[in-house]
Structure 1
Amino acid sequence: MSAADILSQDFELGFTYTRSTGPIVGRFLTGLRDRQIFGIRASDGRVIVPPMEYDPDTAEALSEFVQVAEQGAIVSWCWVAQPRAAHPLDEPFAWAMIRLDGADVPMIHCVAAPAEASLATGARVQAVWAPETRGFISDISHFELAGGGN
């Protein structure tokens, strides 16, 4: 079959709707816009950050928000020596599991550090807010080592 025998039509597929983040994720994102971090209390008392609509163990609906600190500890991490264009930082950094003070479940975010050797499990970190916050996870620009990375 030649190219002339094949029928084709260019088209653009669009999604002409918006999606609500809902009351749980919406409250979390509104908190970020206001430079506050919220988790949610699970059925067993654990605080989950970011918050979830349902308890991951019992499937019970959750609704008790808990404000947690902007500081926490690194639980685990992976160094990125050569960031790519889509990464949040231009300089080498770490992806880290960070358990914020007041939370029981760690969240993933990036940590700016002067060198891989300056990072360790248990190291204390502090959130660095974006200059302008809009209600996105990127409102936390990144985390940095607390106390200047000592």
Structure 2
Amino acid sequence: MTAASPPDVLRAPLVVEFPFTRSLGPVQSAFLTGLREGVVLGVRTSDGKVMVPPTEYDPVTAEEIRDLVEVAATGTVTTWAWNPAPRPNQPLATPFAWVLVTLDGADTAILHALDAPGPEAVRTGMRVRVRWAADR
């Protein structure tokens, strides 16, 4: 009996990219314009809930939704995870928390980075506010 030789390993380069430009519809366009102006907009779904960030189609009925609603720039952290070593191109170069925040007036949470001095400064249920960048 002889040992079988290992099979040849096939290799091919792989580049993951999305080489397209996305145009924004009326809801996403209004949301991003609102952020530029220092306003957070959500959208009211068919069951009366306010989703932030907004979508253009109701997740339950799949119907188009266009009822934009302004929500507060304050909210409550619903859950979080500490990021002790940010990677290149992440929102902050120093350690920070990824948080899900339900803004006042919204029924869904939005994922965002929270600039905090350490994990001991972050807790579920804490109140936070938007800190707008000077250049939006």
Shorter-chain TM-score: what band? 0.7 to 0.9
Q: Which one of the candidate residues 104, 107, 115 is aligned to 2:107?
A: 104
Structure 2 partner of 1:23: 26
Secondary structure of the residue aligned to 1:97 is strand
Structure 1 partner of 2:35: 32
* Greater strand proportion: 1
Of all paired residues, the percent bearing the same amino acid is: 47
Matched, 1:50 2:65: no
- Pairwise CA distance, 1:25: 0.2
Larger radius of gyration: 2
Normalising by the residue count of structure 1, what TM-score does the alignment of the two structures yield?
A: 0.75
Change (3 A) 1:16 1:48: closer
- Pairwise CA distance, 1:98: 0.5
| Separation of aligned partners in 2, 1:106 and 1:84 | 24
Change (3 A) 1:118 1:131: same
* Greater helix proportion: 1
| Separation of aligned partners in 2, 1:114 and 1:49 | 27
Structure 2 partner of 1:61: 64
Q: What CA deviation, in whole Å up to 9, does each residue of 1:89-123 have, x standing for no partner? A: 11110111100000000000000111101111110
Q: Which one of the candidate residues 129, 132, 135 is aligned to 1:129?
A: 132
Normalising by the residue count of structure 2, what TM-score does the alignment of the two structures yield?
A: 0.83
4+ residue runs over 3 A deviation: 15-19
User: Structure 1: which amino acid aligns with 2:122?
Assistant: L
Count of aligned pairs between the two proteins: 119
Show structure 1 runs of 5+ residues with no match: 1-14, 134-150
Structure 1 partner of 2:9: none
Q: What CA deviation, in whole Å up to 9, does each residue of 1:63-89 have, x standing for no partner? A: 110000111000111100111112111
Q: What CA deviation, in whole Å up to 9, does each residue of 1:8-45 have, x standing for no partner? A: xxxxxxx9985421101000001011110000000111
Structure 2 partner of 1:86: 89
Show structure 2 runs of 5+ residues with no match: 1-17
Secondary structure of the residue aligned to 2:131 is strand
CA RMSD across the alignment? 1.6
